[in-house]
Amino acid sequence: MSEKRVALLELIEKIERLGQFQDRIDSPSSIKEIWSAFLADVRNLIEIEVCALFLVDESTIEFTLKYAVPEDSAKLCRKEIDLQIECGIFSWVINRRQPALIPGLAFDKEKSIVMLPLSTVKRTLGVVLILTPIQESFITHEKMKLLTILTKECSLVMENTLLYARLKREHLSLEKANREIKLLSRTDSLTGCYNRGYLNEVLPREITRAIRYRRPLAVAMCDIDHFKKVNDNHGHQCGDEVLKQFVQSISELIRHDTDWLTRYGGEEFLLVLPETNLENAFNLADRLRKHLAHKVIETEGDKISITASFGVTGLDASQPAGAITPEAMINVVDKYLYEAKTQGRNRVIRGPISGPT
């Protein structure tokens, strides 16, 4: 077989291998993985001393150094790019989307620079800078053609990776925004606890679960005693601050992973307490009552002491299916709260789901 035929077969094999660049990169991959595969193929084509990847920063439309091999050559790469920008070769490579072979470095005329544009039909991604010890006259047209093929293949893979990364960021951002919107729709804007709308979701679900699996469930309704006097004597802004600190105080003593604190209306709040029997719910409510009674709320120079009244009721394991509705449960616990207030306030009244006798 003649030398020309051998050389031709080798060239065909190289072209086929470069054309399979996309197949050798797992998708989706990282820019670093693509760069490593690209670098390995470049080394099979041309001897290199330094190879650097400059990518376009889409926010500033400037080229930033992403990777340099070896790593300590970063300063040198930036210097060479600056020189090529000054003499106009850099913009020529970008605008024409054509490679450039530049004889001689600023510090070593025996070496050469190869600049390869990373671009697709739609966009320019960056530039590859290669410093090679080979003189310009020894770098054949064939090698430049192979480097161009490789760079185009790399550009396609890189564009897909950058697009995937951008879509992933946008998806995560959208998910975060949706979570925030959902939380806002469930949350009382003043106090930060759950609102009545979300209570209408939580309580039916917890009642159904408790009855189906024969598990205890309690609810406690609480009301700030003489809250109207707080508003009348100190103003509504102070009243708002009292409500916020009231919720904060209760939140300190409940289980954040299972209990639900909701604002029922005005200064009334409802606690939904899964896996809690009536006795334990009463003990929790009494701890909350004592905790609130010892708390002094400071608002714009005023020191305000508050107390709260609680009504408590609950389901037990023997509750028959369909025997209680959320509305009925709230009505019952509201009656126990009313008893606490009529008996002098700052107290907890508990009772069965059947209601006061």
What's this model's pTM, rounded to 2 decimal places? 0.60
Q: For the chain, give every residue range classified as CATH 3.30.450.40.
A: 3-172
Cα separation, 62 vs 51, whole angstroms = 19
Q: For the chain, give every residue range classified as CATH 3.30.70.270.
A: 196-350
Residue 27 pLDDT:
57
pLDDT digits (tens, 9 = 90+) for 295-308: 998 887 788 999 99
We find that the CATH architecture of domain 3-172 is: 2-Layer Sandwich (3.30)
Residues whose CB falls within 8 Å of the CB of residue 90, separated by 6 or more in sequence, listed in order: 81, 84, 115, 127
CATH fit for domain 196-350, picks 3.10.450.100, 3.20.20.140, 3.30.70.270, 3.30.1490.100? 3.30.70.270
- Whether residue 8 has pLDDT greater than 50: no
Cβ(223)–Cβ(308) below 8 Å: yes
Residue 2 pLDDT:
60
Please, what is the Cα angle at 168 between 166 and 173, to 5 degrees? Answer: 95
pLDDT digits (tens, 9 = 90+) for 101-133: 888 665 566 778 889 999 888 888 989 988 888
Cα separation, 102 vs 112, whole angstroms = 6
pLDDT digits (tens, 9 = 90+) for 279-293: 999 999 999 999 999
Q: Are strands 348-350 and 308-315 parallel, antiparallel or unpaired?
A: parallel
Residue from 115, 122, 265, 97 nearest 193 by CA: 265
